[in-house]
Amino acid sequence: MQDLRVQFFTSGGTINAVDGVTFEVDRGEIVGIVGESGSGKTMTALSLLRLIPEPGRITNGRILYGEKDVAQMTDEEIFRSKRR
């Protein structure tokens, strides 16, 4: 994950839920994300799974799985890669 930014666009303004998170997890590693309430742990995890609720969206960054950027893949591409 490189420079991930997640924002929520609301009638009250823009909320920066994740602001520039970068980390790498190598094969066989286990990572725990800790932090204060509201620090972006859940939105970071939901971003990895492409499950950010509306009106949120990834506005910057890359989520690399091998050579693929999961953040840029279509739902069809994700589905096809799961079937292999």
What tens digit of pLDDT does each residue of 13-30 get?
Answer: 999 999 999 999 999 999
Cis amide bond preceding 53, omega within 30: no
Q: In this model, does residue 69 exceed pLDDT 90?
A: yes
Q: How high is the pLDDT of residue 83?
A: 60
Q: Determine how many CB atoms are found less than 10 A away from the CB of residue 69.
A: 13
Structure tokens, 38:
């509201």
Q: What is the pTM of this model?
A: 0.84
First to last CA, the chain: 23
Residue bearing tokens 């420079």: 3
